[in-house]
Amino acid sequence: MTFSTFNEAAEAVSRFIRNGEGRFGELALALFTLQLKHVPAYRDLCRARHVSVNHWRKIPAVPTTAFRDFEITSLLLNERTTVFHSSGTTGTVFSRHWHDSSSLAVYENSLQSWFHAHLAPEDCRTLSLTPAPAEAPHSSLAHMMLTVQHTANFSGTNSPRGWEVNADTAQRACVGAIDGNQPLLIMGASFSFVQWLDGMKAPIALPTGSRVMETGGYKGRSRELPKSELHALIAQKLGVRPDHIISEYGMCELGSQAYDRIVGRTDCPTFTFPAWARIRIVSPETQAEVAEGETGLLQVFDLANIRSVLAILTGDLAVRRGDGFELIGRATASEPRGCSLALSES
């Protein structure tokens, strides 16, 4: 299988997302070959490492830090209609992930499908604790929140101190759900939940079937809580069942997301990506895949990354759990030896 154009690749990946048409390995190799030809920084990396690829597991993964330091894109300047930035504190140098209308459509198709499979929000009102995309145009999370909502409802604001939750707006959404006896799906970053719930005067009891999706870290924007304590706080303040609190894993450098459970499931939570994204957990020193139950750096091979690179080396430590993973946290040294050097020296 080969792709002559990125539009052809986008159409093939979209068919795979919609109905499973095609094979992941063949699609990945064809997309890799196209990206190798048209993403200059990636081509330089692969030449420096003298790569030979005959299986998707051998496709060289680009560290997320490269999206900060280099233009990891096949798009020319006049073709870049959307750019997502990594989150961070003021003054940080951000990662950048560019899209055109075609690659953005694949991203939206990918996120909607896997989101609905895990959150099942059809019967729910929705509330996002993020700002609306008009206030945060470079946030992939804000764009995601707009994409998955039937009726846009945002309580986040952009302030000089960063994102904050308008407690009055959030409270009105909760009261409306309670008065209408309709489940509410609340979505936001972990720090947004802590900001909001720490300031809540009294607990409320959302209608049966209400659910929560939390994601991301804290970055100094609120007090930090272990995930178990965050979920306990959400359950106590909002009356949401623990098995209806879902954690999401995503980043601006990816087109797909992982979730740690399907709403209502009580088994041990393990993050899983959809069929159009695969993972490897690798040793930071050797880049060899670790054994089941062992810890290493998370690599993601994401077909929804049409116009950048499909193979991403995250800076996150994870434990290998079958086809999924248990997230540990950020690695102190997040790049295997030689990755950044190969790009900077080529």
pLDDT digit string, tens, across residues 258-293: 999 999 998 889 999 999 999 999 999 888 999 999
Which residue(s) pair with 253 in the sheet? none
pLDDT band at residue 88 under the 50/70/90 scheme:
low
Give me the domains of the chain, ranges plus CATH numbers: 6-72+271-345 (2.30.38.10), 107-259 (3.40.50)
What rounded mean pLDDT belongs to the chain?
A: 91
Mean pLDDT (whole number) for 289-311: 97
What is the structure's pLDDT at 111? 96
Backbone angles phi, psi at 87, to 5 degrees: -75, 160
pLDDT band at residue 96 under the 50/70/90 scheme:
very high
pLDDT per position as a tens digit, 211-245: 999 998 767 667 788 899 999 999 999 999 999 99
3-state secondary structure of 313: strand
Which residue(s) pair with 312 in the sheet? 62, 300
Q: Strands 245-249, 258-259: parallel, antiparallel or unpaired by DSSP? A: antiparallel
pLDDT per position as a tens digit, 103-159: 999 999 999 999 999 998 888 999 999 999 999 999 999 999 999 998 999 999 988
CB distance 320 to 290 below 8 Å: yes
The model's pTM is 0.91
pLDDT over 90 at 330, yes or no? no
| Lowest-confidence region among 45-59, 78-92, 281-295 | 78-92
- Rounded CA-CA distance 128/151 in Å is 11
